[in-house]
A and B are shown apart, each in its own frame.
Chain A
Amino acid sequence: MADTINGMPVEVWEKLQARFPGALHPAQPPERGDAEGYPQGGEHRMTRSVSRSVLQNRPRYEGVLVHSRHLLDVMRFLRDELGYVMLSSLTAVDYPEAVGQLPPHIDVVYHLFRLEGGGYVVLHVHTAREGAILPSLTPEFAAANLQEREVWDMFGVRFDGHPDLRRLLMWEGFDGFPLRKDWREAYFEEEHKPFRSRFPEGGSPLYAEERTPYHANVRYSREFAEHNLHVDEDFSEADALLYERMLSADRDTDKPLKTEEMILNMGPHHPSTHGVFRMAVRLDGETVRHLEPVFGYLHRCHEKIGERNTWLQNIPYTDRLDYINGMTNNLAYCLAMEKLLGWEVPERAEYIRVIMAELSRVVNHVLAAGFFSNEIGMYFTGSLYALEERELVLDLFEAAAGGRMMFNYMRPGGIARDLPEGWIERARALVRGRLPKKVKQMQSFLLDNEIVRARSVNVGMLSAHDAIASGVSGPVLRACGVRYDIRRAEPYGIYDRFAFDVVTREHGDAFDRVALRFDEVWESLRILEQALDAIPEGPIQSHRLSPKMLIPPGETYARIEAPKGELGFYLVSDGGANPYRYHIRATSLLNLTPLSALTRGVKIADVVSILGSIDLTMGEVDR
């Protein structure tokens, strides 16, 4: 686009320059064009020295470089005066070696969006690798809370002023910061896949177990001696810090009646927590005084594995993020790759993508409502209605992609395989015939039910302001009355061609969040009808893909309106066959940011109601 500089609108850049003269630098040096004529999709593997020199020039890098002492001022200016209210993604990239004139550093990256759309602003802040420290945004930008904790956990960047800087995904006391480039896991074999032991000759691969001293996936630091091999009986260091936080936060010492409070752990094994999510709750009688979510029980090291994988190898991994919506995860990752590659997608593939994404949304929303009814006590009954419809949609997915849950269906530049014979007719019959009837039935069973209303109306009220500030997206945000949908705000693919409404509700309580999902199902069915009628014949893939395809150097952030909200992929390529940085902006994690505030002062039974209405998948929360 002509009116952008470094990926951001020109006027924003000019205003920033005027407000902070001399303090900001483009992250991209003026000489451009290094990426032109770059081999794309070629078979050969680049040598590391070539890729290193490409990295030094940092072409196609976005945004502005901000000194850490200006960070808070720039952020405030962007939020208060330019309207960049959504701190969407906050992550870091580790550069263990000098890049051009830059010494080894950790680059913390902030992506900001406006509600009106119109591109993002990227801020880069550098910090030294040793004793890495940056000012925390959390006191003023709630959305930074969990993301800063994650950066501390994974990269070891301290955030000065963060009220609760504990590890997010790993436990307290874990050795090392795993996403640093020089940190190697116990089963480390090589920096990048495909490993020489398996490709191209194959032969007899070494078992990963044979490379570690304990024949298990563990690794201890050199200082960790035998005499350290004991731990406290009751709980480890991790929980000690957690309970300390629980007991110190929001103490009300002026209570007229002295009562004894207790700490209750809900989860990680609990029927209402959607998997392995843990909430440590401080209770006064039945009233929640403080709730601290504990993450990481399903942290599968997605990003570290993703940075070892080749670009295409990551597609099946994305299926396992939010495992209800494999299709939309595929889509977001492929969009990000296409942005870096500059590839177009054939018409038919675009339609198929929309159809798959919207079918996925229908399944997700219906399931979310079903599981919500689980959590408020209708044991499995509500889910059974949802699961029945899910099976029918999964049949369609299976016919197209070959798998029920894990699809590996989308590719950069198109999709993997075309629809089989008769698929469109089957889909049309489902979308026109059965689904509307069944969704209507389920909607009336659930939403007109007096008990459901009693358990959810006015429970867990989230204001629009708080929702935006804490980085909430998707149906949770729209239930607060914010008309924000990425399909409309910044349309990707061919969403601008379809007629559909961005539905909202006003109250932002648990009931609205559930009810809004049904409203969205109707809009999805509208899109599906249009797409199924208009889908053209034609090719489904614009480029030939090779397993070790290269992607030109640069960075990008692509996002979609996934069923749960904004799903973003932040990719950095150094021109090689693997992502240099592969970060997932997880919807479910960010949607949990306001959980602690939402549950303060409610009854313990309402906690499950609130959690159920947020709709999370642990695979995506913990990655």
Chain B
Amino acid sequence: MARQSQAGSVSRLPEVPPELQSSVNLTTLDQVYAWARKRSLWPMLFGLACCAFEMIATAASRYDTARFGMEIMRASPRQADLLIVNGTVTKKMAPLLVRLYNQIAEPKYVIAMGACAISGGPFKEGYNVVSGVDRLIPVDVYIPGCPPRPEALIHGILTLDARFDHESIRDIRAFQTGEDKGIPEPALGPDLLNWRDLEGLVGPPEEKR
């Protein structure tokens, strides 16, 4: 592995002796990692609005996400690795959503399900609505629809699965050195104070205090 990293590319795998070929399989660490993660995504049980019902329907018997290794939805962010933002993110909810995202352990993924999570959707103009969850947290897969059908959600999950094949543990955030400070939580002032939007205007919150 060390030699491989130095070379910067995967070297040719050695031959497996014929007597061991039935029990030994050679592969890369990346592939093993991707294979394992693909079939064990645990979404967080996080229902925001209408789309949550389609997510529940997807988990139920007709669509059955258990076929894709999503056996169970965990209510605690600490036990989940997929955040499906299914519904309108309101400004009042925004700080809590960021906190929940920060609490999910790496590696973590976010699916923005439905028009509201993508852009604010039909409620975009509302004074209490965040125009898309990607203003707060990074999003991996967007699923359009209002609400998306269960098939669409499954397609989104499979799209995310396909991404794992192209990921290397060398650049996954979870294995990087250094402290992960997380995303600063927006605050509720006279309106939503999203530090990322205000960066040009004022310093980050630590400097202001």
Q: Does A406 lie within 8 Å of B128, measured CB to CB?
A: no
Q: Does B45 lie within 8 Å of A301, measured CB to CB?
A: no
Given A216-B131, A383-B56: A226 in contact with B202 (beta carbons within 8 A): yes
Q: Which residue of B lies closest to A216 (CB)?
A: B197
Whether a CB of chain B sits under 8 angstroms from the CB of A19 is no
Whether a CB of chain B sits under 8 angstroms from the CB of A199 is no
Smallest distance from the beta carbon of B44 to chain A beta carbons, Å? 8
Whether a CB of chain B sits under 8 angstroms from the CB of A268 is yes
Q: B208 contacts which of A230, A308, A317 (Cβ < 8 Å)?
A: A230
A380 to B74, CA, bound (A): 12
Chain A residues, Cβ within 8 Å of B48: 275-276, 298
Whether a CB of chain A sits under 8 angstroms from the CB of B139 is no
Chain B residues, Cβ within 8 Å of A297: 90, 92-93, 96
Q: Per-residue 0/1 for B172-209: is the Cβ within 8 Å of any A Cβ (1 yes, 0 no)?
A: 00000000000000011111111001100110010011
Q: A308 contacts which of B53, B90, B125, B130 (Cβ < 8 Å)?
A: B125
* B interface size (C-beta, 8 A): 54
Whether a CB of chain B sits under 8 angstroms from the CB of A296 is yes
Q: Which residue of A lies closest to B126 (CB)?
A: A301
Q: A171 contacts which of B57, B125, B188, B197 (Cβ < 8 Å)?
A: B188
Q: Does A230 lie within 8 Å of B198, measured CB to CB?
A: no
Whether a CB of chain B sits under 8 angstroms from the CB of A192 is no
A185 to B123, CA, bound (A): 12
A229 to B184, CA, bound (A): 14
Whether a CB of chain A sits under 8 angstroms from the CB of B16 is no
Q: Does A296 lie within 8 Å of B128, measured CB to CB?
A: yes
Q: DSSP class of A's interface residues: helix, strand, loop or mixed?
A: loop
Given A170-B128, A173-B190, A236-B187: A218 in contact with B201 (beta carbons within 8 A): no
Chain B residues, Cβ within 8 Å of A323: 49-50, 53
Q: Does A217 lie within 8 Å of B90, measured CB to CB?
A: no
Whether a CB of chain B sits under 8 angstroms from the CB of A126 is no
Given A228-B189, A269-B96: A388 in contact with B61 (beta carbons within 8 A): yes
Whether a CB of chain A sits under 8 angstroms from the CB of B129 is yes
Q: Does B149 lie within 8 Å of A300, measured CB to CB?
A: no
A577 to B53, CA, bound (A): 33
Whether a CB of chain B sits under 8 angstroms from the CB of A304 is yes
Q: Does A619 lie within 8 Å of B50, measured CB to CB?
A: yes
Q: Does A268 lie within 8 Å of B53, measured CB to CB?
A: no
Chain B residues, Cβ within 8 Å of A186: 127, 191
A-B residue pairs in contact (CB < 8 Å), sample of 22? A170-B92, A173-B190, A175-B191, A214-B201, A215-B197, A217-B124, A218-B191, A218-B193, A229-B189, A230-B209, A268-B93, A268-B96, A298-B90, A298-B93, A300-B49, A300-B90, A301-B125, A304-B126, A304-B127, A305-B123, A320-B122, A405-B147
